[in-house]
Structure 1
Amino acid sequence: MDHFSTDRLTAERLREDHLADLVALHHDAEVSRYLGGVRTPEVTKAYLATNMAHWDQHGFGLWTVRAKDGAFAGRAGIRHILVDDVDEIEIAYAFKREFWGQGFASEIATALTDIGLLQLALPSLIGIVYIGNAASRRVLEKSNYLLERSTNRHGNDVVIYRIRR
């Protein structure tokens, strides 16, 4: 599952040569506002290495996402994550600002959910959203995720949404 496509996006497995695009994405303060803050290039490089290792260990992970014209749009994926000492599998997505408000997050969330539940046959998926991120909450709700609970993650108040197979 190194590649997949939606109506308007293509996704490919994360690779080392995606570092420059990720650095630019993570350096945008508006994009990173709900991702834990702006990341230095060094932190993004470590993030890339961790997520490439996730692929090697689990056979799925993060993809870079491009518009059909080839322009880098963001990143999205399915990954293991520890939440309140429980190993969960989350969907995650982040898009460059010029791709906001056009339904791309909903499009990728639907694709990730189908991949996770149907192709990978995972029992459930979660989405972790900062309390104030109304747009991302709407994306998950439109993708039929149900609000499960609130918690605190790395000092931030977040909500956990879940969908089951």
Structure 2
Amino acid sequence: MDHFSTDRLTAERLHQNHLADLVALHLDAEVSRYLGGVRSAEATKTYLDVNMAHWDRHGFGLWALRTKDCAFAGRAGIRHILVDDVDEIEIAYTFKRDFWGQGLASEIATVLTHIGLKQLELPSLIGLVFVGHGASRRVLEKSNYVLEKSTIHHGEDVVIYRIRR
């Protein structure tokens, strides 16, 4: 599933042509504060390589998101992540600041959940969120994810939300 669309977004499988957009996204301190901090261009290149390899290994991963008029809006996807030594599969979404507060995260979370549970037939999905990131927590709650636990991930206090098939 290299491409999909929502009412307001188009998504395409992450590839090298997305590097410049991702670098700009990751250099924004406000966007990156809940992603573990600003990432350099070199760190973003490594991030892109890792996420492209995830696609090759698992057949799913991150997509670049664009508005219907082709403006880069962010990235989102479904990916394996190690949490408390357990291989989990999370939904993830990050938008440029210009697109905050428009309901796009809820729109994409709904579609990602459908893809993960219905199309990929995964048994469950998680959302991993910094404790203080209220907006992202609300997105998961509106998408019927249930708060499961608090933990530490990469030195940060996070909460895990889960939804099951």
Report matched runs for 1:75-154 at 5 Å.
75-154=75-154
TM-score (norm 2): 1.00
Instruction: Return the offset for 1:158.
Output: 0.2
Aligned to 2:158: 158
Alignment correspondent of 2:74 = 74
Give 1:156 deviation, angstroms.
0.5
Displacement of 1:85: 0.2
1: distance between equivalents of 2:4 and 2:157?
33
CA distance in 1, matches of 2:55, 2:156: 27
2:29 corresponding residue in structure 1: 29
- Give the whole-Å Cα distance in 2 for the aligned partners of 1:77 and 1:154: 20
Deviation at 1:139, TM superposition (A): 0.2
Structure 2 gap ranges (5+): none
Cα deviations across residues 67-96 of structure 1 (Å, max 9, x unaligned)? 111000000000000000000000000000
Structure 1 gap ranges (5+): none
Q: Distance between the aligned counterparts of 1:16 and 1:98, measured in 2?
A: 23
1:8-60 residue CA offsets vs partner (Å, 9 max, x unmatched): 00000000010000000000000000000000000000000000000000000
Q: Partners of 1:75 and 1:40 in 2: how far apart?
A: 17
How many angstroms apart in 2 are the aligned matches of 1:161 and 1:18? Answer: 29
In structure 1, the partner of 2:12 is: 12
Report the alpha carbon displacement of residue 2 of structure 1 after superposing the two structures with TM. 0.1
RMSD: 0.3
Count of residue pairs brought into register by the alignment: 165
TM-score (ref. length: structure 1):
1.00
> After TM superposition, which residue ranges in structure 1, 4 or more long, deviate above 6 angstroms?
none
Tell me the SS of whatever aligns to 2:56: helix
What is the CA–CA distance in structure 1 between the aligned matches of 2:143 and 2:5, rounded to whole Å? Answer: 17
